[in-house]
Structure 1
Amino acid sequence: MNLFRLLICALVLLLAPAEKSEASQFTPSVPVLGVENLRPGMKGYALTVVSGREIVRFPVEIVSVIPGKGSPKHLIMIKASGSIIAATGGIAAGMSGSPVFINGKLIGAIGYGWNFSEHTLGLVTSFSDMASIWSWPEKIVSIPPAPALDDADKKKDQEDESQADEEADNGKEDKDEDNLVVPVAAEQLSSPLFINGISTRKALETAALLGRDNFIPGGGFTDAVPVEMNATMLPGDAITVLLAWGDVTIGATGTLTAVAPDGRFIAFAHPFLGRGAVNYPVARAYIHKVVPSLESPFKVGSPLQIVGTVTQDRPQGIGGRIGYFTPSISATLDFTDAERNIKERKRFHVVPDPFIGAKLTAGVFTGLIDDLWGRKGQGTATLTLNVQGRGLISGWTRTNMFFSDSDLAAAALKETSELLDVVFLNPFAEVYPLGITVTTEFSPMPKLMYIEGVNLKGESFSSGETVEVEVLIRPYRKKQVKKSFTITIPKDASGICEILVRGGGIEPLNQSAIVQGWKTIENFRQLFTEMSALETNNELIIEFNYEKRSKDGKGRFDEDEPVSKEEQELLSELKQRRLKDGTLQIFKSEFVVEGLLRKLITVTPGNSSQSDEPETES
């Protein structure tokens, strides 16, 4: 047993199956002030990080409390001021989740603002709205939660916040309620999405997959994002929610709002992706700079250490647990540039989300290849996909070849995305922890082979006879070569029949039994058996095809067998039977096989002699 599988077994023993945690009330380690106690003109402060890891505070003033009928139910309009806000150009994307305190008590967190407007105005999602995300159950792996902060730490935090609130109140004048402003078309302060390590075009596609129009550069300081055990996190800390990490980094930066004694936290004050119960790693973040912008200022950050997991992604904000670490998808790319004879390896992790995981993983593989190959264009690739995980005792492997005259990386990884979708969304069992390895060789040369002719020794044969089929093939810009195969004519064949020579994947054999409703895939093992039966593009396939007749020869069906056994076969069963009875031959080549040719023959029952007449092309 190899090292990877030993690690998988160890993880399976250590990690209990995913289960739903019951909803429970969220009580933060700081005092709370409800929206019913807020009045215009009240002053306080907000906490955030604008450089490095240092939590700073800036003054805020209540402008109005805006009731709503959806989620969140209350939005609190504030006006921010002070030297920090002047330097950042206003409330910035990435300040999402920055806690706001009035009279030393938490009222909520900054979550919304306006583009191309006065960036000192923002909307706060109330604490009661944010805490309501914990009314939904989590889907977590049962491991012990992180230890809670001790009472001395909590008391010190509360004293510091109360003192800072009093300082922010000094020298400020109250405003009349006549100055209330009702906001129009407020937008959530989109937590800046950063993508690093893949090509720009795949980064843009990934951003679109995640519902974003754009992204900013950003990544970890090292190839791996380390784990920090027993981390102590404070309101106002900069955090990053990760979707991919390692040689590729995809995530979003925001701010931690509050932590409960049991290690649970709330943050962002708006959804990240809005996917409900999730398992996304959360890391400390380092803020490089807040970039001023007329549209909206934004933070540029990088993840430092993973400290826990986001388990709630709801309209009112995100929440999770410090000290809880979820299993992830481990991915490896082994890339060979055949033209330069250079080999490189890239490794990354992806969140275990079955509904975006396959597309995200395949997109990262494609973006890595774009950069490693240094081009987008024509060529030929050989790609091997290997999947290891729980329920796959020996793993599963598929090798295929691909050619494209315009975008080889996208063409080669399209099948990988589709196959991973099947694995991630299979109805039988979760396969986490999951390891995916893509081993591929890329060349700009067209490694193609064309089918140019089919020759038979005659055009009339007897049922049960073995026929020699000569196939003329030509590798790209090389001499034509001949290959001979034998096909056995079934004993029940008669009349006009067909010998078909084609490339793999061209008019392929399919799962007609499933399409027509005669059978279904019944278990996990059978699923992978059928995936293994799929044709590959480097196959040269020779088929004998005929219309099966009833026993009396007068129709297509027998009364005692209205649907033939052949029509009820799964693809793997069909191929196995036809290879055994000689009506199917498959030759694996080192080229992508192009072309399809048919030859019609006449089959007579019994042992009638073979015709010596010259062949004709059909």
Structure 2
Amino acid sequence: MKPVRRFLFLLVAVVLLAVSAEAAPFRSSEPYLRTSSLRPGMKGYALTVISGREILRFPVEIVSIIPRKGSPKNLVMVRASGSVISKTGGIAAGMSGSPVYINGKLIGAVGYGWNFSDHNLGLVTPYEDMASVWDWPEKIVTLPGLPPSGIEPQDEEDDDKKKSSPRNETPEKSGSGNTDEPVLKGELSPLFIDGISGRTAAEITALLGKERFIPGGSFSEDIPVEMNARLVPGEAITVLLAWGDVTIGSTGTLTAVAPDGRFIGFAHPFLGRGAVNYPVARAYIHNVVPSIEAPFKVASPLRIVGTVTHDRPQAIGGRIGYFTPSVSGTLTFMDTDRKSSGKKRFHFVPDPFMGAKLSAGIFTGLIDDLWGRKGQGTAVFTLTVHGRGLGQGWTRKNMFFSDKDLALDALKETAELLDVIFLNPFAEVYPLGVTVSAEFTEEPRLMFIEGIDVKGDSFSAGDTVEVEVNLRPYRKKQVKKNFKIVIPKDADGFCEILVRGGGIEPLHQSAVVQGWKTIANFRQMFTEMSALETNNELIIEFNYEKVSKRGKDRKDPEDPVSKEEQELLSEMKKRRLEDGTLQIFKSEFVVEGLLRKIIDVKPSDGKSGGQQEDDEE
């Protein structure tokens, strides 16, 4: 297991990122009909956008009411018709959330269709099911010291009551997607991804639990915010996960708006993650693409108007005029072979459980695009994280070599480190910024350990040993490096001098693994992260077996557990560097290899380890 991944599993992820906002019933600004009032043969209309921002009507007729054991409780089968549907080739992906009216009253919204079928048929999620997303409390992300925009957090007494209420427990499980209920297919909100390579777009699609994505994009490098926006049912909207030089989102339709600015839409889940904080933007529809599989809208986000705070099985819900904090990402890229460079900026959602993998995937896709290739090579990566409590920021620099997929392999460490930060149990770090500086080359910048030589034949405890290491840069002449290592005064018998590349059989957090210590605060967490080895280090260690004496020969003050086992990684490295039993040389290459040398150390009384064993026998 890599050192970063091991460190990640040593932390208990307890995240406090939000305050709960009290749930309140949703009341649409328009009159509505309940499902019990609907009958087959009833006729009405639906609203949607198929080009630009113009809202159009198309006729619908109720075919049947389908009762369900899951959530939503009912679905209404409708048949769409008219010139709009003829032009689009049927109900299209992107029409999810299109409000449906019977006798001028809202009954719900188009939510589902079928692939390779009659695209004039669709399923409507009833209004009462969609409005029920507001039966759950929100989790509003706030910057430290600032209250939520126009949202009052509930007091502790109310919060406790909600936690004890079965109504607030069971639906949350449904919202998370962990349910035994039948899963509906054919959700009509296409995922679009733009600005990154196709292969990473496919990986992000799988990460989000989606089956496919379509091309999309934005009119500008960043999406502006529209204050005091006024939206109406039938408008095209986009839920965003990332925006800027990269755009990731899903386009659907706004179903209804309450007088207080809350809204519902989509008529099915986006990702089904429950209480969320995803920006929502007005959308511009370029066109609807007819398809035998399923027609779909191609859209671009225009201006951010609010935030989706509910992502439930029945619908999405959110607030117009509330703007959630985001995480900023910056990539500075250099192709040293072509002497070309590029810079990309983006924002992504403050989701601690998804943010690390999402941002790492975006960085990978951006590098694919800027490098113009994937495959073998060497990279120098500098990761800098800015945020609350980090002062000037925390930085880690490392080198990577891959013979298969350099960008993907190098970004694995970034994802693991960001997981540690996002999921840390100590403190929030918002506002958060992530910067990656990457220098890429196709050249294998490797250095191999080919031999070690120890000067001298006889060694005593306390001696300083000269160690010569033979190194060979990739396809170049061998070079020699000399180091000095100190033999501890309590060393005795056969001991080991180990020369290795950084990250190969690395020093461990044994104190944490064995339960002698724990990483107890925010500052200590970053100290231990900084102590992790890097791949360009040449490491020389003096290792020996030090076991406490037992029985009558054991001294009372002697600790039965060795000092090294009780030290955190940073403490152990600092002590060993100071006492000379550890040397670290930072090179300009990824260091490969591991070699050992055994030496016999005489104790301070002049007896060798072997002689001592003979005497004891």
TM norm. shorter chain > 0.5? yes
> How far apart are 1:607 and its partner, in Å?
7.0
Q: Are positions 1:498 and 2:482 aligned together? A: no
- Paired with 2:111 and 2:433, the residues of 1 have a C-alpha distance of 37
Change (3 A) 1:587 1:329: same
**Alpha-carbon contact 1:519-1:568 (below 8 Å) kept:** yes
Change (3 A) 1:600 1:211: same
- Paired with 1:547 and 1:187, the residues of 2 have a C-alpha distance of 61
SS of aligned partner of 1:385? strand
**Alpha-carbon contact 2:547-2:562 (below 8 Å) kept:** no
Aligned positions of 1:368-517 closer than 5 A: 368-517=366-515
> How far apart are 1:493 and its partner, in Å?
0.7
What letter corresponds to residue 357 of structure 1 in structure 2? G
Tell me the residue number matched to 1:76: 76
Deviation readout 1:8-58 (Å, 9 max, x if unpaired): xxxxxxxx9831101100011111111111111111100000011000010
What letter corresponds to residue 208 of structure 1 in structure 2? A
**Alpha-carbon contact 2:401-2:445 (below 8 Å) kept:** yes
> How far apart are 1:377 and its partner, in Å?
1.4
RMSD: 1.9
Q: Are positions 1:530 and 2:528 aligned together? A: yes
> How far apart are 1:555 and its partner, in Å?
8.8
Tell me the residue number matched to 2:3: none
Q: Are positions 1:204 and 2:209 aligned together? A: no
SS of aligned partner of 1:576? helix
SS of aligned partner of 1:418? helix
- Paired with 1:516 and 1:501, the residues of 2 have a C-alpha distance of 26
Q: What is the count of residue pairs matched by the alignment?
A: 558
Counterpart pick for 1:564 among 562, 565, 569: 562
> How far apart are 1:143 and its partner, in Å?
3.2
> How far apart are 1:460 and its partner, in Å?
3.0
What letter corresponds to residue 477 of structure 1 in structure 2? R
Aligned positions of 1:96-495 closer than 5 A: 96-140=96-140, 141=142, 142-145=147-150, 187-495=185-493
**Alpha-carbon contact 1:488-1:582 (below 8 Å) kept:** yes
Deviation readout 1:439-493 (Å, 9 max, x if unpaired): 0100111111111111112243100111111111111122211111111111111
Tell me the residue number matched to 1:49: 49
- Paired with 2:554 and 2:542, the residues of 1 have a C-alpha distance of 18
What letter corresponds to residue 382 of structure 2 in structure 1? T
> How far apart are 1:380 and its partner, in Å?
0.7
User: 5+ unaligned residues in a row in structure 2: which ranges?
Assistant: 1-15, 152-181, 609-617
**Alpha-carbon contact 1:267-1:319 (below 8 Å) kept:** yes
- Paired with 1:406 and 1:484, the residues of 2 have a C-alpha distance of 34
> How far apart are 1:560 and its partner, in Å?
5.0
Deviation readout 1:507-555 (Å, 9 max, x if unpaired): 1001111111222111111111110000000000000000003358999
- Paired with 1:557 and 1:224, the residues of 2 have a C-alpha distance of 69
Deviation readout 1:410-437 (Å, 9 max, x if unpaired): 1111100110111111111121110000
**Alpha-carbon contact 2:115-2:186 (below 8 Å) kept:** no
Say which is worse superposed, 136-145 or 262-271, in terms of deviation. Answer: 136-145
> How far apart are 1:594 and its partner, in Å?
0.8
Tell me the residue number matched to 2:615: none
Structure 1 runs (4+) greater than 3 angstroms displaced: 141-146, 551-560, 607-610
Tell me the residue number matched to 1:151: none
- Paired with 1:86 and 1:223, the residues of 2 have a C-alpha distance of 35
**TM-score with structure 1 length normalisation?**
0.88
> How far apart are 1:582 and its partner, in Å?
0.7
What letter corresponds to residue 535 of structure 2 in structure 1? N
**Alpha-carbon contact 1:503-1:540 (below 8 Å) kept:** yes
**Alpha-carbon contact 1:550-1:558 (below 8 Å) kept:** no
What letter corresponds to residue 22 of structure 1 in structure 2? E
Change (3 A) 1:554 1:55: farther
**Alpha-carbon contact 2:492-2:603 (below 8 Å) kept:** yes
SS of aligned partner of 2:96? coil
- Paired with 1:204 and 1:241, the residues of 2 have a C-alpha distance of 19
User: 5+ unaligned residues in a row in structure 1: which ranges?
Assistant: 1-15, 147-183, 611-618
SS of aligned partner of 2:202? helix
- Paired with 2:500 and 2:26, the residues of 1 have a C-alpha distance of 64
SS of aligned partner of 1:114? coil
What letter corresponds to residue 38 of structure 1 in structure 2? L
SS of aligned partner of 2:359? helix
SS of aligned partner of 2:529? helix
What letter corresponds to residue 73 of structure 2 in structure 1? K
Change (3 A) 1:232 1:572: same
- Paired with 1:317 and 1:557, the residues of 2 have a C-alpha distance of 70
**Alpha-carbon contact 1:238-1:284 (below 8 Å) kept:** yes
- Paired with 1:557 and 1:127, the residues of 2 have a C-alpha distance of 78
